Chain A
Amino acid sequence: DVKVTQSSRYLVKRTGEKVFLECVQDMDHENMFWYRQDPGLGLRLIYFSYDVKMKEKGDIPEGYSVSREKKERFSLILESASTNQTSMYLCASSTGSSGANVLTFGAGSRLTVL
């Protein structure tokens, strides 16, 4: 059973702070993703990675960076948090095989920036 673990479920940070969101998957998936979920906007892709040390910008990468030093771990970094980054952040992973790109999601990290 694929498991995607997001270590922090709830975070409260101040404007300007550096924030790290960690995500670990245990099924040897090639692809990993960071989405944010906002009311009325659904899930929007921030960054994704299809291999170690590889990263691709999603639809809303501004203000974020990512790191994938190991296959199982994908980190989202907010270099200087701002109030408009208050959101639910969802990490996901999937295999690189053909067919439906079924993502397995973590439980989410709710970030509040004051």
Chain B
Amino acid sequence: DQQVKQNSPSLSVQEGRISILNCDYTNSMFDYFLWYKKYPAEGPTFLISISSIKDKNEDGRFTVFLNKSAKHLSLHIVPSQPGDSAVYFCAAYVMDSSYKLIFGSGTRLLVRP
């Protein structure tokens, strides 16, 4: 029973183009969403987050969009760079006394030079 789903295991994009990574969730109680990036042999690093009271959050080349009615969020990377090649994890969190982040299965992004 996966509460956070990343249905695309991989994505390949040309350098300079837009990368769009998608994430769906089932738990309507989630009120915070985060994206993490992971390079091989390293731990995941925090990339960007969004609260459920917003529908968009932007940080440089990275923008996260949240569609609560569809229970869907996406990460846009514009323009994509070869250094963005990594595995991207979507994660969600209910802001109560629990501190449990629920992660998706990840999407491997390859940015071709």
Residues on A close to B: CB < 8 A? 4, 31, 33, 35, 40-45, 48, 50, 56, 58, 90, 92, 94, 96, 98, 100-108
Whether the Cβ atoms of B43 and A100 lie closer than 8 Å is no
A22 shortest CB reach to chain B, Å: 15
Whether the Cβ atoms of A102 and B99 lie closer than 8 Å is no
| Nearest-neighbor residue (CB-CB) of B94 within chain A | A101
| Nearest-neighbor residue (CB-CB) of A49 within chain B | B99
CB-CB < 8 A to A42: which residues of B?
Answer: 4, 6, 89, 103-106
Q: A35-B103, A104-B46 given. 11 additional CB < 8 A pairs? A: A31-B99, A42-B4, A42-B103, A42-B106, A44-B103, A98-B95, A100-B34, A101-B32, A101-B101, A103-B36, A105-B36
6 contacts between A and B (CB under 8 A): A42-B105, A43-B44, A44-B103, A92-B43, A101-B32, A103-B44
Whether the Cβ atoms of A4 and B100 lie closer than 8 Å is no
Size category of the B interface is 20 to 34
| Nearest-neighbor residue (CB-CB) of A102 within chain B | B46
Whether the Cβ atoms of B44 and A45 lie closer than 8 Å is no
Whether the Cβ atoms of A90 and B32 lie closer than 8 Å is no
Contact among B9, B36, B91, B102 for A40, CB-based, below 8 A: B9
Q: Confirm or deny: B93 has a beta carbon within 8 angstroms of a beta carbon on chain A.
A: yes
CB-CB < 8 A to A4: which residues of B?
Answer: 43
B100 shortest CB reach to chain A, Å: 6
